[in-house]
Structure 1
């Protein structure tokens, strides 16, 4: 592969293109501002330059870590700013140039372009701070309290320019929201930067009064502060690691798993990459605990955790103890089939690994059951993903244990849909005393949902979710005052805002019953619009689960074609025209097509 071709491949990466542009712009800015002033420097000025360059190199050696991950900081900024305030921007840029050259020779393990990128960013920081200082009337030389505002604003500009350059680089590297990344940098590093920048004022005063001795004193203080920050960050990491680790197994804790699952799901959506979750449960662990006691049971948990961790780490999988004898594995880049294959290999390795007392187990070895779920366009949030993986785990348990099941693919959950329907119907009968319309509306939407499940040939689990979700979707209206529900005239803005809250109230009601928490997306999201203008979250397109998009169509059609207090009734033809008009805006174009065809077929049959 030629040099030009390799260069083109590198430039296709946004981070590399950004670095090249910054380096190019930084070089132009340096040449523009620093017009060879060193030709006129005196011997004493050269001595000061050499001393400051040495200080920069030493402070660079005492660099410390700052958030976000990979961002490092040294106290060298205090030297550059002090030089700027004492001798001018060109003087400071000369120190930067010589310091960068020495560091390139000394730190050869760092790629040359990273040195140039660092040089260019510092050039912008120093130049912007220098221009700000001069525009605000600041005078180089000794510290003058009269120009305090110039010093403070110049320091702020220096800091902000750094945050913008670093923040945009991490934005290109890791995506996410630029505003959030810069906000994180600002909030997490402001104290360290404030200390660094304040030192520049101290150094300015010391240089003016004591010259090299003052620089030596500042260097000593800077080294001590850098060492202090390094120790503080080390202690923070240790405490964070301890807080995020389950002490019994050495794996990550449940709370940290929940936090990281959000991040992994967000990354998977942004990068459009597969992501799977596996839930693992040690088979018959209680029997082992009862036979050998909790201390030995804890040793088994730790043993199991170590094996799982050893197998998962080479693949950069995130392993956590979910609770009790249940474990979770976040699998970025894994499809459900690849995830099942991996977990099956892990299961066999566990089976073949001896451990004291395993003869008590039915399989004569350590075994676990597992459920696997892959994130897809219908995955609403992490709780839904966990619940579905757990359901697949439940199936694996019901099939004799020591097996792995994929949610919604191999075997469906052994649940009686008829029994669930009867149970939910009892819940919504309370509407009979408060709002007969909502009760009848729920029953009609349920009926449409049963038919649409057939039309779309949904699998057993999706059929269950759609039918039960349709039946209970308006349960939150129980919280709406009776006078608003039955109001004959048009609702006021305040009353309409109360009505809109029924989806969130419904979510809270459904969440109380563990058995039906998988219905939450349909209850909470059936008023989201395809174009993102719905409520409560303003989700759009595939951000809304497919069944919730379908329920929105069914719910809207029934609302249009039946008499309700504050809305005129439409005929079926008028309602179908409204569905067609709102296709692509309010309604999913594909699903609304299926529903329109279903209604038209139904109308044709009734007419004939």
Structure 2
């Protein structure tokens, strides 16, 4: 019963139902054309039958590709039509079934159900051509110029049935628009089809004049023409690929990206399936170009393009060079969370992949910023989608680069804060020349603080303090010597004591400006611990200001999950476990719960991405 049910479920699908219908129709026509008479073939007829079968099999070996993608054409139709015109429909179908049997025996690469489907399609086409030839007064045997109209209309019927049957097959199995599929056939392959069919008349004349030698001569001509068609379509594909490919990176070109994005969006809307777009920009590429020159910069672009291609090809994602050092990836089937996870993994792999001269870059490695946006019901055209992805990319760059942002997930700040934020950003930009990690860290902590202000429902005063304090909390690190600040190995006790002084140095820097003196508690106390084992004063519990306790959690979480080139760090899930285990000791347990809920709400589900987000 289970097997019967499975077969029933298959047949209910439009594509498989169509295959079954065509196979039954072809089998019925074959039986109908042969059941009323038994043909006895002479020895010379059998010689010709074997010769025709051999010719069909040889010509099928010399197939050539034609649109739509995956479709192939051979010159075997010439043989079937010629046998119809010379010997009649029964002879032609006999050659067909013998050829099909031999092909089933030696061609194990083709799916089993395609053999009866092909046999049925050829049977329908042969029957249609033979019937129209007979109805138009065509006489089987010698070629007659006065029957030329019958030959031509028979070829047209054969061609029409071929295009219709195969076109509907592609429409049902691979979806799309039937009219567009058939138009693709007519536009791109009509020359190949009609040339093949017209040659059937040439074969009739050759066989009538020279019998088997005429067939042999045609076989040679057919093999040469098949080879010529192969080369023609190979050249066509190469030219198309060249036109659609960016020669520098071997990714797709900007113009082809624009064309394909329309198609992907139409398919996503038609099937109600997810689709995401990522905009990627290499960080500080101009600095690399200025240092090493444009030829080396071009090599970096090519290298980065290969990294993108290797990541995208296994998942059938569409990657293109958008222009300059900007790239795009179209991700069918990806929601925002899964798309961000994929781009994040690509970003980390890029960070960890060495390339000549990257030490000149601020991050000490190849890095990029990216914006991600998923299509939804309000997305009305591709320009809007591109614009949203570009805005998310701009947000990623504004957060210190080498990060990925999803459009629309950044909380908006009150207008009154903008001037203060811009002023503080000018101060922390000094880190770009001394310690890019601290700059990026400050920007990320700031971003978390913006969201946590909403989560904790802070009033406007506390919101301002938390957001600005997060942005400037590490300003005291400007006083730490560069060799300690950028040291990659473990710090000595003396060096660690120097690092710990950054909170007091930060207090002194912030206190100078009357406008930001109220930020001192967050700058000075964000390393105090809930259990009293922090620094600089070993305060505990509620002795630590509430916002400083919030900032301590945000600061620690980002430090745990910060990705540095060539080093493994904690994943978000691992960092959340660390927060849980340290709640009540290092962190305020109540605030930890709020922060964990906030982070978990941002995490993609495992089913969406297949694994944990890092």
CA offsets 1:57-103 (integer angstroms, 9 cap, x no match): 11011111010001111000010000000111111111111110111
Which residue does the alignment assign to 2:92?
A: 92
Which residue does the alignment assign to 1:221?
A: 221
Secondary structure of 2:113's aligned partner:
helix
Secondary structure of 1:86's aligned partner:
helix
Once the two structures are superposed, the pairs formed by residues 420-439 of structure 1 within 5 Å of their partners are: none
Which residue does the alignment assign to 1:343?
A: 343
Which residue does the alignment assign to 1:493?
A: none
* Displacement of 1:15: 1.7
Secondary structure of 1:322's aligned partner:
strand
Secondary structure of 1:34's aligned partner:
helix
Which residue does the alignment assign to 2:260?
A: 260
Which residue does the alignment assign to 1:28?
A: 28
Question: Aligned Cα RMSD in Å?
Answer: 1.9
C-alpha distance in 1, partners of 2:228/2:245? Answer: 26
Secondary structure of 1:400's aligned partner:
coil
Instruction: Assess, with a 3 A threshold, how the Cα gap between structure 1 residues 219 and 366 changes in structure 2: closer, same or farther.
Output: same
C-alpha distance in 2, partners of 1:241/1:7? Answer: 41
C-alpha distance in 2, partners of 1:145/1:311? Answer: 61
Kept in 2, the 8 Å contact 1:65–1:71? The answer is yes
* Displacement of 1:111: 2.1
Moved more, 5-14 or 380-389: 5-14
2:319 counterpart of 1:325: no
C-alpha distance in 1, partners of 2:238/2:250? Answer: 14
C-alpha distance in 2, partners of 1:44/1:93? Answer: 18
Which residue does the alignment assign to 1:407?
A: 407
Instruction: Assess, with a 3 A threshold, how the Cα gap between structure 1 residues 379 and 349 changes in structure 2: closer, same or farther.
Output: same
* Displacement of 1:412: 5.4
Instruction: Assess, with a 3 A threshold, how the Cα gap between structure 1 residues 366 and 307 changes in structure 2: closer, same or farther.
Output: same
Which residue does the alignment assign to 1:244?
A: 244
- Unaligned runs of at least 5 residues, structure 1: 417-608
Once the two structures are superposed, the pairs formed by residues 173-572 of structure 1 within 5 Å of their partners are: 173-411=173-411
Which residue does the alignment assign to 2:137?
A: 137
* Displacement of 1:280: 0.1
* Displacement of 1:6: 2.9
Instruction: Assess, with a 3 A threshold, how the Cα gap between structure 1 residues 329 and 15 changes in structure 2: closer, same or farther.
Output: same
C-alpha distance in 1, partners of 2:112/2:304? Answer: 45
C-alpha distance in 1, partners of 2:405/2:260? Answer: 24
Secondary structure of 1:362's aligned partner:
coil
C-alpha distance in 2, partners of 1:181/1:200? Answer: 27
How high is the TM-score relative to the length of structure 1? 0.67
How high is the TM-score relative to the length of structure 2? 0.66
Instruction: Assess, with a 3 A threshold, how the Cα gap between structure 1 residues 203 and 135 changes in structure 2: closer, same or farther.
Output: same
Which residue does the alignment assign to 1:444?
A: none
CA offsets 1:238-265 (integer angstroms, 9 cap, x no match): 2222222212112111111112112211
* Displacement of 1:414: 11
C-alpha distance in 2, partners of 1:131/1:355? Answer: 69
C-alpha distance in 2, partners of 1:2/1:286? Answer: 64
* Displacement of 1:327: 0.3
C-alpha distance in 2, partners of 1:191/1:350? Answer: 47
* Displacement of 1:9: 3.6
Which residue does the alignment assign to 1:43?
A: 43
C-alpha distance in 2, partners of 1:413/1:36? Answer: 86
C-alpha distance in 2, partners of 1:204/1:311? Answer: 55
* Displacement of 1:362: 1.9
C-alpha distance in 1, partners of 2:61/2:261? Answer: 36
Moved more, 36-45 or 158-167: 36-45
C-alpha distance in 2, partners of 1:23/1:312? Answer: 39
Kept in 2, the 8 Å contact 1:395–1:411? The answer is no
2:46 counterpart of 1:53: no
Secondary structure of 1:211's aligned partner:
helix
C-alpha distance in 2, partners of 1:83/1:33? Answer: 15
- Unaligned runs of at least 5 residues, structure 2: 417-614
Secondary structure of 1:327's aligned partner:
strand
Kept in 2, the 8 Å contact 1:38–1:94? The answer is no
C-alpha distance in 1, partners of 2:205/2:385? Answer: 60
Bigger Rg, which one: 2
Instruction: Assess, with a 3 A threshold, how the Cα gap between structure 1 residues 144 and 251 changes in structure 2: closer, same or farther.
Output: same
C-alpha distance in 2, partners of 1:52/1:330? Answer: 49
Kept in 2, the 8 Å contact 1:261–1:330? The answer is yes
C-alpha distance in 2, partners of 1:223/1:302? Answer: 41
* Displacement of 1:36: 7.0
4+ runs deviating over 4 angstroms: 411-416
Instruction: Assess, with a 3 A threshold, how the Cα gap between structure 1 residues 253 and 222 changes in structure 2: closer, same or farther.
Output: same
Moved more, 11-20 or 122-131: 11-20
Once the two structures are superposed, the pairs formed by residues 83-122 of structure 1 within 5 Å of their partners are: 83-122=83-122
Secondary structure of 2:345's aligned partner:
helix
Kept in 2, the 8 Å contact 1:126–1:158? The answer is yes
Instruction: Assess, with a 3 A threshold, how the Cα gap between structure 1 residues 5 and 410 changes in structure 2: closer, same or farther.
Output: farther
Kept in 2, the 8 Å contact 1:391–1:413? The answer is no
Instruction: Assess, with a 3 A threshold, how the Cα gap between structure 1 residues 414 and 401 changes in structure 2: closer, same or farther.
Output: farther
C-alpha distance in 2, partners of 1:66/1:114? Answer: 18
